[in-house]
Amino acid sequence: MPEPQATFQLKKDQFKDQKILVTGGAGFLGKQVISQLVASGANPELITVPRSKEHDLRSLAVCEKVVQGQDLIIHLAAHVGGIGLNREKPAELFYDNLMMGVQLIHSAYQAGVQKFVCVGTICAYPNFTPIPFKESDLWNGYPEVTNAPYGVAKKALLVQLQSYRQQYGFNGVYLLPVNLYGPEDNFDPRSSHVIPALIRKVYEAQQRGDRTISVWGDGTPTREFVYSEDAARGIVLASGIYNESEPVNIGTGSEISIKDLIHLIAELMGYEGEIVWETDKPNGQPRRCLDVERAKQAFGFTAQVGFRQGLNQTIAWYRQHAA
């Protein structure tokens, strides 16, 4: 007989009296993480969110300052965007993400922080990773070239956390969320990811009465998406329960092609125009789909929000805030 699967639940007072630093806590994922921390017993008055205007985490002195007295750090802050931004600013994406993470982890260790939760990126995986992506495949090749500077910078933080655990006993964990989407996402066409970019394209085509919209690539690549609220729940579960060195995927385990994605968004938004593919533009990584078993076994995480439901909620939010 198979062994019954362990059930995981955060203790009622899991985060009670803990001083928690959430970098990137004002972002669309960060807001969800904070709300789920509070729902899990954290005291909102003990949660600190360093804002980039006052606290530039690329500075070692700033990192040393913000970690003082903290019990738990959840590092979400990132300089991140879609293929366009990755092509335009590879040096900035490499430098900013590496310096923020490396110095924050080192400062946290020196300050005696009890636990560090680092949120990495799916872009860290090799370009041609067998489907579904298993965490054990992370080092079996170089990332897709347009995302590589960002992906390598974030992947270096996994090496740092594992080596600090080995040498210093520092409790750092590393999570790999797949592409996020949801209300309050970044809809700026210069830096947005694929779902907000496509929602905005369809919305603006409807406003102008355009009968065609153009989309980068040829539509064949596949992507997996996790709703921001689900990702936040996974991060908070890991923050309370998971204390191991191995990286953990956070996702849904299902993929959709870009072609099917734009047709689904058009259907949900009531757009009947033609899709024109800009095949001279890059496709990005050919496929993305995660093996999500480790998160289930290690801290009981499975995604709960269905894709159509999540898209409808994201579209509704954008329509309300488009102005």
Residues annotated in a binding site for NADP(+): 24-30, 154, 177-180, 193
Contact of 288 with 133, CB cutoff 8 Å: yes
Question: b or e along 109-142 (b: 16 or more beta carbons within 10 Å of the residue's beta carbon)?
Answer: bebebebbbbbbbbbbbbbebeebbbbeebeeee
Q: Which long-range contacts (CB under 8 A, 24 or more apart) does 198-203 make?
A: 198/261, 198/262, 198/265, 199/265, 199/269, 199/314, 199/315, 199/318, 200/318, 200/322, 202/262, 202/265, 202/266, 202/269, 202/271, 203/269, 203/318, 203/319, 203/322
- Spatial separation of the C-alpha atoms in residues 195 and 187, rounded to whole Å: 9
22 - beta bridge partners?
74
- Spatial separation of the C-alpha atoms in residues 57 and 93, rounded to whole Å: 14
- Spatial separation of the C-alpha atoms in residues 11 and 2, rounded to whole Å: 27
Annotated binding site for substrate: 201, 216, 223
Q: Which helix (H) or strand (E) holds 190?
A: none
Annotated binding site: 24-30, 154, 177-180, 193, 201, 216, 223
Question: Looking at 150, 164, 227, 318, which residue is catalytic?
Answer: 150
Backbone angles phi, psi at 262, to 5 degrees: -65, -35
Q: Going by C-beta distance under 8 Å and a sequence separation of 6 or more, which residues neighbour residue 20?
A: 37, 42, 46, 47, 48, 70, 71, 72, 73, 74
Note if 150 is an active site residue.
yes
Active site residues: 150
